[in-house]
Structures are given as structure tokens and as C-alpha cells.
């Protein structure tokens, strides 16, 4: 069973949702019927703006409506995170939106304290596992990549594909590239990471390096530091066959998340 995944690596307009959505619309329009899953960066409508007064939208706000509309148009799932108000809290919320209008949320668990995200946002408490077109998919956000226990979660094959949406700065690009590979190898799963490019409103440069890796950690696509869009095909049959031949999960350490 194959899954076509489109990595969308772009610069982001700072605190300008209308401009960002218009730019993504131009890129997504030709993809109708050509992909199964579109992955956008972290906070793709605003950039990674975590200051106290940064603009957050309601949980069922216009960006979620936009994602539903484009998921239906493309006949593909659309994934990305949005700065969101949930009651008295602000969260960095990823939405996994499907063509039937379904929308499943995941709130970022590991808040990036070096930028003060933990001071203005509330951390999520539960992981998300989505079943879509025969694949089990675990979506995560940026800094979560540094925490292998959260990515692994439990022994056995909980998922087939790990997704990371990110605003990962250029000065730590080496860590981004290596950790994506490590997560694929240690979890015997495909991994897709989508980052932004360009400097944000705080002057922080981002080098992109969005990538897709197979279950061996081998690269299927690497986008480099330019804006771009790439569709890759993931092969679940090859993944399943490897897991049968090399069932390392049977020797995995058991643990519980607290």
C-alpha cells in the first residue's frame, strides 16, 4: 500500500495569515488528485511567534475551515499547526484534516523554552494517532523531535509514519537532519519532517532541510535550503516486510509515560 506525501517548504509572512494562506493556495491548487497527504510547517499562518501578544485564533477558526476546504478540494489530508486559543489557554495546535471534513487535534507537548514558548503557551498532554488510507500516522511538532520517548511512546508498532512540522532554526540544522534519521531507524517507521525557510519576524533564519526517510533512515527526499514542494511515495509493504524480517520491537524496553 502506497501513500503519496507532499512536503511544502516555504517562507512565512510574519503575523499575516491572509498572505500565508494565499501563498499556499497557489502551491496547493495543482495537487488535486496527485497526493494523499499535504504537510505544512509549524504555525504556517503566522510564523513561530510566541510573544504574549501574538495573534491566536479560536479553536474552530478560519484556518481550520481553510484546511477543511483544501482537504476536500485535493482529496488529501492536510496537516499543519496553528497558534490557537482554547478557553483561557494558548496552544500550538496541529490539525490533521481529512477530505470527509474530519479534524483531529494534537497540542505540542514539548514547548521550546529557549524562545519562551513555555511562558505563553500550554503544553499538550496526549499524543495523537491517526489512521488514514491504510496507514497509522503519528503527527508531532518541532521540538518534540528531540524527545525520543515521546516519539516512541510504547513498544511495538504503534504507527507506520512519524510526521514533524517545524520552524527549526538554521543554526541547529545539523541536529534536525540527524534526529529525523534517528527517529526512523529506532522506530522502524517512515519519517517526514517539514520545516520553513527564510528569516522570521525576529530575524531568526531557517534553512529548511525538509526531508522524508524510509524505515531504514535512507533519504527519499531532501529539499535543501530553498523554497520548494516535493511529493514522495511511501511503501507500506516494504515497511511491513522489513519489520517481519527484523522484529527489533520484540526486544524493546517497556515503559509508561507519566
Phi, psi (5° rounding) for residue 162? Answer: -100, 130
- The yes-or-no answer on residue 2 being catalytic is no
- Contact status, residue 9 vs residue 229, Cβ threshold 8 Å: yes
- The yes-or-no answer on residue 42 being catalytic is yes
How many CB atoms neighbour CB 172 within 10 A? 13
Choose, from 15, 25, 42, 131, the residue flagged as catalytic: 42
Choose, from 108, 117, 131, 244, the residue flagged as catalytic: 108
How far is 198 from 14, CA to CA, in rounded Å?
11
- The yes-or-no answer on residue 190 being catalytic is no
Phi, psi (5° rounding) for residue 149? Answer: -65, -40
Q: How far is CA 217 from CA 127, 147, 196, 249, in A?
A: 23, 17, 22, 16
Query: 222 has which bridge partners?
Result: 211
Query: 159 has which bridge partners?
Result: none
How far is 54 from 63, CA to CA, in rounded Å?
16
Residues 6+ apart with CB under 8 A from 79: 37, 38, 39, 40, 94, 95, 96, 97, 139, 163, 165
Choose, from 2, 25, 142, 256, the residue flagged as catalytic: 142
- Contact status, residue 109 vs residue 132, Cβ threshold 8 Å: no
Q: Which residues are catalytic?
A: 42, 108, 142
Amino acid at each position: 500500500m502506497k501513500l503519496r506525501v507532499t512536503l511544502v517548504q516555504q517562507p512565512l509572512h510574519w503575523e499575516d495569515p491572509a498572505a500565508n494562506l494565499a501563498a499556499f493556495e497557489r502551491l496547493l491548487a495543482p495537487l488535486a488528485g496527485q497526493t494523499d497527504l499535504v504537510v505544512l510547517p509549524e504555525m504556517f499562518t503566522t510564523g513561530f511567534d510566541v510573544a504574549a501578544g501574538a495573534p491566536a485564533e479560536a479553536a474552530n477558526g478560519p484556518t481550520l475551515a481553510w484546511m477543511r476546504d483544501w482537504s476536500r478540494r485535493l482529496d488529501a489530508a492536510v496537516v499543519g499547526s496553528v497558534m490557537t486559543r482554547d478557553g483561557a489557554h494558548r496552544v500550538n495546535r496541529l490539525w490533521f484534516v481529512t477530505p470527509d471534513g474530519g479534524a483531529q487535534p494534537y497540542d505540542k507537548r514539548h514547548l521550546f523554552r529557549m524562545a519562551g514558548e513555555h511562558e505563553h503557551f500550554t503544553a499538550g498532554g496526549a499524543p495523537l494517532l491517526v489512521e488514514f488510507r491504510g496507514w497509522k500516522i503519528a503527527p508531532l511538532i518541532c521540538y518534540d523531535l528531540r524527545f525520543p520517548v515521546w516519539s516512541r511512546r510504547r513498544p511495538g508498532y504503534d504507527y507506520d509514519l512519524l510526521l514533524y512540522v517545524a520552524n527549526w532554526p538554521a543554526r541547529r540544522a545539523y541536529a534536525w537532519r540527524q534526529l529525523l534519521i534517528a527517529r526512523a531507524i529506532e522506530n522502524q517507521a517512515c519519517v517526514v519532517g517539514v520545516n520553513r525557510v527564510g528569516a522570521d519576524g525576529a530575524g531568526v533564519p531557517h534553512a529548511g532541510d525538509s526531508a522524508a526517510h524510509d524505515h531504514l533512515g535512507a533519504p527519499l527526499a531532501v529539499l535543501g535550503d530553498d523554497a520548494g514542494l516535493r511529493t514522495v511515495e511511501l511503501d507500506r509493504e516494504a515497511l511491513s516486510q522489513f519489520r517481519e524480517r527484523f522484529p527489533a520491537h520484540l526486544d524493546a524496553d517497556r515503559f509508561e509515560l507519566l
